Amino acid sequence: MTPRRLTVVRPGALTTVQDLGRPGHAHLGVPRSGALDPAALRLANRLLGNAEGAAALETTLTGCAVRTAAPATALVAGAPCAVTVDGRPAPWGAPVRLPAGAVLDAGPATAGLRSYLAFAGGVAAPPVLGSRSADLLSGLGPAPLTDGDVLPLGAPAGALPPAPGAAPWPGPPARLDLPLVLGPRADWFTRDALRSLDAAEFTVSPRSNRIGLRTDGPVLDRARDGELASEGMVLGAVQVPPDGRPVVFLADHPTTGGYPVIGVVPAEALPPAAQARPGTPLRFHAVHP
């Protein structure tokens, strides 16, 4: 029997294996990691009959192509893109049957940043601390894909679930409007900084990555000097380093840090942030905890 495995034909700019990450180890300095758009990953897995947290391939802007050794079923989700199987157009956002030896190509994202190539049975890279996710801050998990890499696939659970009439794929945002729960260190900033945080327009910086969404725009001034003693950091924390430009922490964020956190973007608001391209306009608006 042909082994169920993928060979990377075109790794794209940055493609990593991601599941729902490895929370629960933050006290050891281990980042949570995991898919930056977990809603897209979960839905892709549900449509394939996988467990919600099965691992898939997360691309960045330019997509990725893989060859399957054995027949397989795949689904491309997240950022929309042209999908082909052996060069012929195939649907995005719906299961695609791949014959043995076929090349599945998820093209460059037509909107958003990160597409997911999910497979019935999941990508079965070896788990590390309970997760197959690549953590780009600490290097845990499988390294970013390169040409010729081989990845095993798990066994599919069974027949595909009945297809829903329409799956709710939210489009990537033309602009980001991020809710922000102020604190725990909002009192480290001036009134002006808090006002501009709530009113000013930022843009998504090209220096953003899986660790954090960096911003260009207003600089937030501190009301006090000195260093904050290192403290635990959460997903979505908006940390303000000495340059005054807020950074929204994404999945590979450090577990502790010494720059003050002015507020926190709730996790459910982060997938659009992780799909926002550099230059996307961004505003924060304060909400109650």
Partner 1 sequence: MSAAGTAVLRVHRVGHTALLAEAPDAAATAALHAELLRRREAGALPPLADIVPGATTVLLDGFTSAKERDGLAAELPAWQLPPARAADTPALTVPVRYDGPDLAEVAERWGCAPDEVGALHASFAYRVDFCGFAPGFGYLTGLPERYQLPRRPTPRTRVPTGAVALAGPYTGVYPQPSPGGWQLIGTTPLRLFDPGRDPAALLVPGTRVTFEPVDGGAA
Summarize as ranges the residues that interact with partner 1 (CB under 8 A): 23-30, 128-129, 138-140, 181, 183-184, 229-234, 236-237, 254-257, 261, 264-267, 289
The nearer residue to partner 1, 1 or 28, going by C-beta atoms, is 28
Least Cβ distance, residue 6 to partner 1 (angstroms): 24
The nearer residue to partner 1, 23 or 152, going by C-beta atoms, is 23
Least Cβ distance, residue 67 to partner 1 (angstroms): 30
Least Cβ distance, residue 286 to partner 1 (angstroms): 12
The nearer residue to partner 1, 173 or 254, going by C-beta atoms, is 254
The nearer residue to partner 1, 22 or 42, going by C-beta atoms, is 22
Q: Say if residues 84 and 107 touch (Cβ distance below 8 Å).
A: yes
Separation of alpha carbons 192 and 202, rounded Å: 15
Separation of alpha carbons 142 and 55, rounded Å: 11
Q: Running DSSP on this structure, what letter comes out for residue 5?
A: E
3-state secondary structure of 287: strand
Least Cβ distance, residue 133 to partner 1 (angstroms): 12
Provide Rg for the chain, Cα atoms. Answer: 20
Separation of alpha carbons 75 and 90, rounded Å: 10
CB within 8 Å of 225: residues ≥ 6 apart = none
The HSE-up count of residue 112 (CA atoms within 13 Å, CB side) is 25
Least Cβ distance, residue 174 to partner 1 (angstroms): 25
User: Which two structure tokens, joined as six digits, stand for 248?
Assistant: 């929204």
The nearer residue to partner 1, 80 or 263, going by C-beta atoms, is 263
